[in-house]
Amino acid sequence: MSEKFKVLYYVNQFFGQVGGEDKAGMAPLFCPEKVGPAAGFEGLLKGAGEVVGTVICGDNYFNENKERSLEFILNVIKEQAPQVVVAGPAFNAGRYGMACAELAKAVVDELKIPVVTGMYVENPGVDICKEKAIVIRTSDSAGGMRKALPTMAAIALKLGKGIELGSPEEEGYIPRGMRKTLFVEKRGSQRAVEMLIARLKGEPFQTEMPMPVFDQVNPAPAIKELGKATIALCTSGGIVPKGNPDGIQSASAQKWGKYDVSTREALSAPDFYTTHGGYDPVYANEIPDRVAPLDILKEFEKEGLIGKVYQWFYTTTGTGTAVSKAKEFGTQIGAELKAAEVDGVILTST
Amino acid sequence: MEGLSENKLVWRNKWGVDILKLEIGRIYIKDIQLGNETTVKNGILTVDKEGLITKLKEDERIKDVKIDVARPGEKVRIIPVKDVIEPRVKVSGGVNGFPGVTAKQAQCGDGVTHVLYGAAVVTVGDIVGFQEGVIDMWGEGARWTPFSKTFNLTVDINVVEGLTPHVHEETVRVAGLRAAEFVGTAGKDIKPDEVLAYEMGSIFEESAKYPNLPKVIYAEMMITQGLLHDTYIYGVNAQNILPALLHVNEELDGAVVSGNCVAACDKITTYQHQNNSVINDLYAQHGKEINFLGCIMVPEHTTLGGKLRASEYTLKLAKMLGADAVVISEEGYGNPDSDLLMICKKCEKAGIKTVLITDECAGRDGMSQPLADTAQEAVAVVSGGNVSHVVTLPPADKVIGNPEAIAVLAGGWKGALLEDGTLMCELNAVIGSTSEIGFHNVTCRLY
């Protein structure tokens, strides 16, 4: 028999049996006993895991003193070193849900310990933590406790033993938003034809890809004095110095690069070429400025049309690059440009 | 198909003959051997290796050809792969080969064609460097590509120095097709193990026959975005066409050829055109649940004007045909996602129901949004999986081609090839893994 894995439990003042709304201002405390839902939880772990204690915190206190609360609780978790943290379930209680969610996010991000919690699907905490923690779907009131705990325990058991979780439907959790690649019995064309026939007959069918929701970005205000402005050049067309010194991928980029172009008049071949795997590279390799027009920008600089071309040229590969990566790159590059007081950016894509 | 043929007799008297009638005779191939003649005996395909090399080197642009065989289950890796082609021979009707490309112009989709079923010609060799793929014949890698199940005759082509990439691509493309043609002749006088009949009357004829069945068309998008990203129909570069209506038999009989150097996971190889799974699966429902009217070949352009034109023109053709529904398949990802959704939106607004087939760029962790565009009208979508899903492929006993290629392939990276020969890559690099014509059985689920 291998050693039991350790579970640390988090509850609010109410489920921690301290009191109701009048005790919502209590600061977090660690209790080496199993309190409230934690009491029955260990039994549901089928002898494979043990609950090593309960953290109890007032909902108001947590939400009003988030950083202080998290600091205390994370320290307790570091000391207790559990393999799994369980929080809630919070049902539709907003403040409790937010506390569970913020705690879950911090534990996963900072301590890399998996977290299980439970919430009603409309609890505002769901969106805060569902990508990080496993949030089981509960009813909107504590009447659902009897149903929620076994579901949470089954997941905690798998997380504690390092067993891969099944689908949200099988396990009872709210989808994390992860697109998991897997095999199915029928080939895609067969599934498409069956979906089509169901649609034509007015029978129910299920899309395999709900459409994404996009962010809207407001355009920045116009530059008032272009003749004094510093302009940066940035491309997703994969133009890199010869040899691709930073190993930027030809598709699905995991990084971006920046290169000093202050002494150059153009991004000329053969010093630069493209590493982009999504378009015909022949013409870009002949004249890389076709993709990222440093030559024209430098001319504009000489003519005084713009104040200055920024020293660094930023580049990555756009093809097949996930939006989440692109967001990350954009935020990082944007921060650098802002810090350098760049006024405008020419962004080119392919 | 049998019931369909009986009905046909009745209507033939009234309406005249079929437009196109295709018989595909499958000769089951159980192994490939290299030898001194090109024959099929008891399901064993023997290929005259020197004869094939001589034939291919008739093209002065080819310096060297290496021929090899990779069989299902063998610990063999093929990399970098450009195209896969099914060896076939025309027995009657039309001409042998690929009309407009390796043969003179002729009507595809009519007559008798023999197929060396279970065999494939695989062209190998760097062209662009980024845009070829990998096939593993065994284990983990084999699950991800449909071409681990075929007996593969690999044709590794080295071209003479000084060719431009575009001429290089054409040389290898045509060499692959010629090799398939050369090998296919072995099936000419062999009795097939299985015969498939593809008969379809005119649109009026079929609609009169099945007045109550919904009329369905297939809109097949093709990457046609410039040299090295092209598809050819009867040898015509589809980059310059308006969306074109094809009889449902034509693509199944060699009318469409891949000239694509794009991410391996969802490029439609020539083999997949010859065996287009959407056409086959729609055909199987023809006369039962649907009336399958035809295929619209839709070019994917790089410009907004091109996208607007192609999507509007596709809608117009669908309307002219009186379509009730359309299956739309994509090739590639990124900007063609917009074309896919433009066609979808326009069709749905016109009351034509759509089902889309695409794949996803959801990032290595699967947490990113999957498409580059979005449309609320796209309510019925089939996913071929996440192109960035990372797979770990154990070392091969034998590598055909160049294992180092993974460092630059789309889906690979520097360091993707470990010292012991283990390969880590995204599905991007695995041929046919996330097929957007639904040729494979991979998908994504929300977790």
Q: Note the pLDDT of residue B142.
A: 98
Comparing alpha-carbon positions, the chain B residue that sits nearest to A176 is B447
Contact B362 A182 (CB under 8 A): no
For B122, the token pair is 């695989």
Q: Does A274 touch chain B (CB under 8 A)?
A: no
What pLDDT, in 10s, does the model give residues B253-269?
999 999 987 789 999 99
Taken in order A222, A223, A224, A226, the sign of the CA dihedral is negative
- How far apart, in whole angstroms, are the C-alpha atoms of residue A255 and residue A314? 11
Q: How many CB atoms lie within 10 A of CB B227?
A: 18
Comparing alpha-carbon positions, the chain A residue that sits nearest to B381 is A207
CA triple B88-B250-B121, angle to 5 deg: 30
The residue of B330, B390, B413, B434 whose CB has the most chain A CBs within 10 angstroms, and thus the best one to mutate to test that interface, is B413
Chain B hits for A183, CB-CB cut-off 8 Å, are 143, 441-443
- How far apart, in whole angstroms, are the C-alpha atoms of residue B310 and residue B243? 6
With cut-offs at 50, 70 and 90, classify the pLDDT of residue B416. Answer: confident
The residue of B361, B373, B408 whose CB has the most chain A CBs within 10 angstroms, and thus the best one to mutate to test that interface, is B361
Q: Note the pLDDT of residue B164.
A: 87
Q: Note the pLDDT of residue B227.
A: 65
Examine residue B104 and state whether it is found in any structural domain, yes or no.
Answer: yes
B-facing residues of A in 151-210 (CB < 8 A) are 165, 167-168, 175-193, 195-197, 199-200, 205, 207-210
B4 pLDDT exceeds 50?
A: no
Contact B166 A282 (CB under 8 A): yes
For residue B116, how many C-alpha atoms fall within 13 Å in the half-sphere facing its CB? 36
The pTM is what? 0.88
For chains A and B, CB pairs below 8 A equal: 256
Chain A hits for B355, CB-CB cut-off 8 Å, are 192-193, 195-196, 199
The strand ranges marked E within A230-350 are 230-235, 239-241, 257-260, 272-274, 308-315, 344-348
Q: Does B239 touch chain A (CB under 8 A)?
A: no
B14 pLDDT exceeds 80?
A: no
Q: Where do the domains of chain A lie?
A: 5-171, 226-348
Q: Note the pLDDT of residue B18.
A: 60
Q: Note the pLDDT of residue B403.
A: 84
Comparing alpha-carbon positions, the chain A residue that sits nearest to B369 is A212
Chain B hits for A202, CB-CB cut-off 8 Å, are none
What pLDDT, in 10s, does the model give residues A115-170?
999 999 999 999 999 999 999 999 999 999 999 999 999 999 999 999 999 999 99
Examine residue B205 and state whether it is found in any structural domain, yes or no.
Answer: no
Chain B hits for A318, CB-CB cut-off 8 Å, are 334
Chain B hits for A185, CB-CB cut-off 8 Å, are 441
ipTM of the complex: 0.94
* Contact (Cβ atoms closer than 8 angstroms) between residue B27 and residue B117: yes
Q: Note the pLDDT of residue A212.
A: 86
- How far apart, in whole angstroms, are the C-alpha atoms of residue A148 and residue A47? 19
Name the superfamily (CATH) of residues A5-171: Cobalamin-binding domain (3.40.50.280)
A-facing residues of B in 302-361 (CB < 8 A) are 324-325, 327, 329, 332-334, 353, 355, 357-358, 360-361
Contact B380 A207 (CB under 8 A): yes
Examine residue B351 and state whether it is found in any structural domain, yes or no.
Answer: yes
Q: Which residue has the tokens 């009491």?
A: A39
- How far apart, in whole angstroms, are the C-alpha atoms of residue A72 and residue A90? 21
Q: Note the pLDDT of residue B238.
A: 96
Comparing alpha-carbon positions, the chain A residue that sits nearest to B143 is A183
Q: How large a percentage of chain B has pLDDT more than 70?
A: 95
Q: Which residue has the tokens 């080969």?
A: B97
Mean pLDDT value across residues B417-432: 92
Q: How large a percentage of chain B has pLDDT more than 90?
A: 83
With cut-offs at 50, 70 and 90, classify the pLDDT of residue B129. Answer: low
A104 — phi, psi (to 5°)? -60, -45
Examine residue B288 and state whether it is found in any structural domain, yes or no.
Answer: yes
HEC string of B283-333 equals HHHECCCEEEEEEEEEEECCCHHHHHHHHHHHHHHHHHCCCCEEEEECCCC
Mean pLDDT value across residues B68-79: 97
pLDDT tens digit at each of 350 positions of chain A: 468 999 999 999 999 999 999 999 999 999 999 999 999 999 999 999 999 999 999 999 999 999 999 999 999 999 999 999 999 999 999 999 999 999 999 999 999 999 999 999 999 999 999 999 999 999 999 999 999 999 999 999 999 999 999 999 999 999 999 999 999 999 999 999 999 999 999 999 999 999 988 888 898 899 999 999 999 999 999 999 999 999 999 888 999 999 999 999 999 999 999 999 888 888 999 999 999 999 999 999 999 999 999 999 999 999 888 888 999 999 999 999 999 999 999 999 98
- How far apart, in whole angstroms, are the C-alpha atoms of residue A240 and residue A229? 25
B279 pLDDT exceeds 90?
A: yes
A-facing residues of B in 367-406 (CB < 8 A) are 367-371, 374-376, 378-389
What pLDDT, in 10s, does the model give residues B376-401?
999 999 999 999 999 999 999 999 99
Q: Which residue has the tokens 């994404």?
A: A212
Q: Note the pLDDT of residue B61.
A: 96
Q: Note the pLDDT of residue B17.
A: 54
The CA distance from B244 to the nearest CA of chain A, in Å, is 21
How is residue B97 annotated by DSSP? S
With cut-offs at 50, 70 and 90, classify the pLDDT of residue B7. Answer: very low
Which domain does B396 fall in, by range?
Answer: 20-200+213-429
Q: Note the pLDDT of residue B414.
A: 80
Instruction: Please tell me which of the candidates B214, B281, B427 has its beta carbon nearest to residue A193.
Output: B281
Mean pLDDT value across residues B71-83: 96
A-facing residues of B in 254-313 (CB < 8 A) are 262-263, 277-278, 280-282, 284-285, 289-290
Q: How many domains does chain B have?
A: 1
Chain B hits for A245, CB-CB cut-off 8 Å, are none
Average pLDDT across chain B, whole number? 93
Active site residues of B: 261
Burial class (CB in 10 A: 0-12, 13-18, 19+), B13: exposed
Q: Note the pLDDT of residue B15.
A: 46
With cut-offs at 50, 70 and 90, classify the pLDDT of residue B1. Answer: very low
Examine residue B436 and state whether it is found in any structural domain, yes or no.
Answer: no
Examine residue B112 and state whether it is found in any structural domain, yes or no.
Answer: yes
